[in-house]
Amino acid sequence: MNKKVISLIFGMTALLASASPVIAAGGGNLESAGINVRDVAAIQRGAKWFVNYCFSCHAASYMRYNRLAEDLGLDEDLVRKNLVFADVKMGETMDIAMRPGDAEAWLGKTPPDLSLISRSRGNDWLFTYMKTFYQDESGGWNNLVLPNASMPHVMWQLQGIQKPAASTHGEEHGAEQATDQLILAVPGVQTVEEYERTVRDLVTFLDYLSEPAKLKRKNLGIWVMLFLLLFTGVAYALKVEYWRDVH
Ligand code: HEC
């Protein structure tokens, strides 16, 4: 292959890579979630965390149970046993039983549907959000990336209880990594690394939830790239063949 062809291939690849969307999330110091959306095992674990810890308040009403089962390669019975508590049909969407008004009266705010949250907030924001709940001076829950959030830290038993680090005072240290401002005052049942994996799994699930077709799209993308590479080779061989007699 000559240099032009090679640089063409490189150019194409770079163009495609740079075209992936970058979500601008608020707040400067977010931790990188580092998820792999093709890790189906992580999505499965995340789905379980979601149903056990989030689903009582947050719906995921764009997702149907049977679609979840199919995408994650799970037996419908398994999904029914592990993920579906109420007596719902597999074709139903993942709505919650709680009426919006009840949640508002109880929490002061209606918990938003999380179907598209990974797109609107970005995965790094979600990752940091779930890691930076802490107990403030009032003894109530607070959060570094969503100050005064009306959501309690629902996974505190897993993570433990964080408190502001003594030497720092919240916003004044904006340039630091968000989690450096907190110390683990009471350990949870998971180690720091285990909890990090829990949150990463959860964010992987939320990312999948926001675009279920991504699993298929990404797999398809590889074949498209391979085809383009192969086709470039064929086209080049043809060109050589045609021009052989001209030279
Ligand atoms: C007890 C009910 C409750 C549970 C359980 C709960 N949340 Fe929430 N969540 C809320 C409420 C209320 C808000 C609104 C917070 C606000 O805006 O102040 C919220 C907000 C959020 C937001 C921010 C939405 C936004 O963009 O402002 C995210 C993300 C979120 N929850 C994720 C989760 C996840 C993940 C879980 C499970 C690990 C979970 N929640 C469990 C009540 C709950």
pLDDT tens profile 14-32: 655 554 444 444 445 899 9
pTM of the model: 0.78
Residue 8 has a pLDDT of 66
d(CA 11, CA 34) in angstroms, rounded, equals 26
d(CA 221, CA 4) in angstroms, rounded, equals 24
The residue written with tokens 């597999």 in the block is 90
Q: What is the pLDDT of residues 174-204, one digit of tens each?
A: 444 445 689 999 999 999 999 999 999 999 9
Is any ligand 1 atom within 6 A of the Cβ of residue 117? yes
The atom of ligand 1 lying closest to the CA of 155 is: 38
The atom of ligand 1 lying closest to the CA of 107 is: 12
Can you name the residues that pair with 184 across neighbouring β-strands?
162
d(CA 123, CA 127) in angstroms, rounded, equals 6
Q: How far is CA 106 from CA 156, 177, 193, 232, in A?
A: 19, 33, 33, 61
Q: How far is CA 215 from the centre of its chain?
A: 13
Three-class SS of residue 115?
coil
Is any ligand 1 atom within 6 A of the Cβ of residue 202? yes
The rounded Å distance from CA 146 to ligand 1 centre is 10
From the number of C-beta atoms within 10 Å of its C-beta (0-12, 13-18, 19+), residue 8 rates as middle
The rounded Å distance from CA 240 to ligand 1 centre is 61
d(CA 139, CA 149) in angstroms, rounded, equals 14
d(CA 24, CA 119) in angstroms, rounded, equals 10
> Using only C-alpha atoms, what is the Rg of the chain?
23
- Enumerate residue ranges in the chain where pLDDT < 70: 1-28, 85-86, 97, 100, 166-180, 247
